[in-house]
Chain A
């Protein structure tokens, strides 16, 4: 299947999936005991006030009608008004998304670097002692999820050896105007390196916590793929041509190991996004993950729906990206 074919196929599936996701959440929420409107107002409100608010937030009328109305607006990007924040859901999402995007990208990059290094070093160590140790350590890292790493970091670097700030995204004392919400990128691009450093310092712990589990998976899977590649005949021939061991691994074996690794670990990248929900909470990092928990606790329906759709969309995009990458990396697939 060509690249275009993959994208088309996936887009159709994506649309169906998103629709399913939206519908499920929409109807699930309406079953919730606990009326958000009543929670919002005080007991002194009159029934007409409550009714008016219901209309304002689109919570009146039969369920299926509500869904259709919501769907219609959603298609043009209007996700309604947040019940708790009184802003348009879209703008709230827009405010908080950049923080999570920066976090996720850094975590992904770190995971690939770490996992790749572990796999390559382990392969270089071959059958020697070091290889067994690396594998064992990798095993421990495989077991613990990002949530636990985040907590360990809080203890280790927040309390025991205070190295990094524990909460937030940037020092509140640094009252510097930003034009976008991409604090890291913007400060780097505009040359404000001390500010960038401050933002980075706040990002270190959540990034590492998110990256470690994915790195462990990449390390394990890539290692196995490399092992399989290294026993192939063409490696033998390259060795006979006089190639050094590191060059063999990096230049010959690695390119054939990446494909299968991507196929198996691509899914894991979505877990990284899911992990932001709790990790951001632990570090009070103002991204969409933290937002999500707040929204659920406060029963903010419009915000929850917008968030679920956003997460769903991100997941689907990641899946498409991985599929495309798998095709791109394997020359046999490219020619169909």
Chain B
């Protein structure tokens, strides 16, 4: 069996004593795209923050282990952790508007990685950046390079961020709801782009989203989360066609059917929620 790229086991995180993540576990093989789906407050972004080392001061990891390529991520010295970030682990952030420094040109922000980590000279870094911009289908890469973030559209900014994420051929990319802030029409393009980049670079992706439709399009495997707990996990198509847990089924059913408007909207049934709350409460009192 191929060694897991990322192995998360029994992860627990609390904020002021209140549990935010409850025994979260999943494995990621090299090149695999794993989706983490759930409603707001399910704990998806907490996982992201934890893995990137930016957990807010009010939260702390209470138990569990995160292993990257066999090494305990949190046992690393800060310098080693920082060396890993950017070079092997990258992020595609949620909001392209605020994720780019408004005071720096795109060329500077794109070439950061090349100059910081690979110590490339300016000219070569610029050339690589242009190649990246072409890879993400930006039509006038030279103009974009000289531009400031506020001169680009939201979709273009997200493309730039995707380019930046894949710049150093990372082994793992964490995508934190990268399409949420975009127009629906642009979302599909961006998703296809991410999938394309992933296949070309052979990168593993942890894809966080609240949208089952996105998961269906791009994720090989998926974890469904609710209130910090992984409710169901497995290959995406199996999950979506034959869900084992009632919450997953309810989630699927709640998806608006634009092709069948007569069906209407089906909210998550209250009994499903109550049952899960009871399960979680029982787990908490034991653990």
A255 touches B113 (CB 8 A): no
Q: What residues of chain A lie closer than 8 Å to B169, measured between beta carbons?
A: none
Docked CA distance A244–B85 (Å): 11
- A1 within 8 Å of B by Cβ? no
Q: What residues of chain A lie closer than 8 Å to B84, measured between beta carbons?
A: 242
A234 touches B100 (CB 8 A): yes
Beyond the given A234-B100, A330-B103, could you list 16 further A-B residue pairs with CB under 8 A, ordered by the A residue number?
A: A233-B99, A234-B98, A236-B54, A237-B91, A240-B85, A240-B90, A241-B90, A241-B116, A242-B82, A243-B112, A255-B101, A256-B101, A256-B103, A331-B103, A332-B148, A335-B151
Docked CA distance A9–B125 (Å): 42
B101 touches A234 (CB 8 A): yes
Task: Describe A's contact surface by its main secondary structure.
Answer: helix
| Sampled A-B contacts (23; CB under 8 Å) | A232-B98, A233-B98, A233-B99, A234-B102, A236-B54, A237-B91, A237-B99, A238-B112, A239-B54, A240-B52, A240-B54, A240-B85, A241-B164, A242-B82, A242-B86, A242-B116, A243-B112, A252-B101, A255-B101, A255-B103, A331-B102, A332-B150, A335-B151
Q: Mark A233-261, 1 if CB is under 8 A from B, else 0.
A: 11011111111100000001001100000
- B28 within 8 Å of A by Cβ? no
Docked CA distance A36–B151 (Å): 63
- B253 within 8 Å of A by Cβ? no
CB distance from A289 to the nearest CB of B (A): 37
A238 touches B82 (CB 8 A): no
Known contacts A233-B99, A234-B101, A256-B102; decide if A240 and B150 are in contact (CB<8 Å). Answer: no
B148 touches A241 (CB 8 A): no
Q: What residues of chain B lie closer than 8 Å to A331, measured between beta carbons?
A: 102-103, 148, 150
Q: Quick one: which of B201-232 are within 8 Å of A by CB?
A: none
B85 touches A241 (CB 8 A): yes
Q: What residues of chain A lie closer than 8 Å to B117, measured between beta carbons?
A: 242
- B93 within 8 Å of A by Cβ? yes
CB distance from B62 to the nearest CB of A (A): 23
Docked CA distance A242–B88 (Å): 11
CB distance from B219 to the nearest CB of A (A): 22
Q: Quick one: which of B103-128 are within 8 Å of A by CB?
A: 103-104, 112-113, 116-117
Q: What residues of chain A lie closer than 8 Å to B91, measured between beta carbons?
A: 237, 240
CB distance from B166 to the nearest CB of A (A): 13
Q: What residues of chain A lie closer than 8 Å to B93, measured between beta carbons?
A: 233, 236-237
- B95 within 8 Å of A by Cβ? yes
Q: What residues of chain B lie closer than 8 Å to A244, measured between beta carbons?
A: 82
Q: Quick one: which of A261-316 are within 8 Å of B by CB?
A: none
- Greatest chain A CB density within 10 A among B90, B101, B151 is at B101
Q: Top 5 A-B pairs ranked by shortest CB distance?
A: A242-B86, A233-B98, A241-B86, A255-B103, A234-B101
CB distance from B170 to the nearest CB of A (A): 11
- B87 within 8 Å of A by Cβ? yes
Docked CA distance A255–B102 (Å): 9
Docked CA distance A252–B103 (Å): 8
- B83 within 8 Å of A by Cβ? yes
Q: Quick one: which of A5-48 are within 8 Å of B by CB?
A: none
Q: What residues of chain B lie closer than 8 Å to A236, measured between beta carbons?
A: 54, 93, 99
Q: Mark A67-103, 1 if CB is under 8 A from B, else 0.
A: 0000000000000000000000000000000000000
A233 touches B82 (CB 8 A): no
Docked CA distance A331–B102 (Å): 8
Q: Can you name the residue of chain B whose Cβ is closest to the Cβ of A237?
A: B99
CB distance from B157 to the nearest CB of A (A): 11
Known contacts A236-B54, A331-B150; decide if A242 and B85 are in contact (CB<8 Å). Answer: yes
Q: Can you name the residue of chain B whose Cβ is closest to the Cβ of A254?
A: B103
A255 touches B104 (CB 8 A): yes
Q: What residues of chain A lie closer than 8 Å to B85, measured between beta carbons?
A: 240-242
Docked CA distance A252–B98 (Å): 13
Docked CA distance A331–B83 (Å): 31
Docked CA distance A256–B103 (Å): 6
Q: Can you name the residue of chain B whose Cβ is closest to the Cβ of A329?
A: B103
Q: Can you name the residue of chain A whose Cβ is closest to the Cβ of B91?
A: A240
Contact partner of B104 (CB less than 8 A), chosen from A233, A239, A252, is: A252
B99 touches A241 (CB 8 A): no
Q: What residues of chain B lie closer than 8 Å to A232, measured between beta carbons?
A: 98
B86 touches A234 (CB 8 A): no
Q: What residues of chain A lie closer than 8 Å to B116, measured between beta carbons?
A: 241-243
B113 touches A241 (CB 8 A): yes
CB distance from B165 to the nearest CB of A (A): 10
B102 touches A332 (CB 8 A): yes
CB distance from B129 to the nearest CB of A (A): 14
- Greatest chain B CB density within 10 A among A232, A244, A331, A332 is at A331
Contact partner of A238 (CB less than 8 A), chosen from B98, B101, B102, is: B101
Q: Can you name the residue of chain A whose Cβ is closest to the Cβ of B94?
A: A233
Q: What residues of chain B lie closer than 8 Å to A255, measured between beta carbons?
A: 101, 103-104
Docked CA distance A252–B84 (Å): 21
Q: Can you name the residue of chain A whose Cβ is closest to the Cβ of B117?
A: A242
Q: Mark B183-200, 1 if CB is under 8 A from A, else 0.
A: 000000000000000000
Q: Can you name the residue of chain B whose Cβ is closest to the Cβ of A244?
A: B82
Q: Mark B73-86, 1 if CB is under 8 A from A, else 0.
A: 00000000011111
Q: Quick one: which of A184-241 are within 8 Å of B by CB?
A: 232-234, 236-241
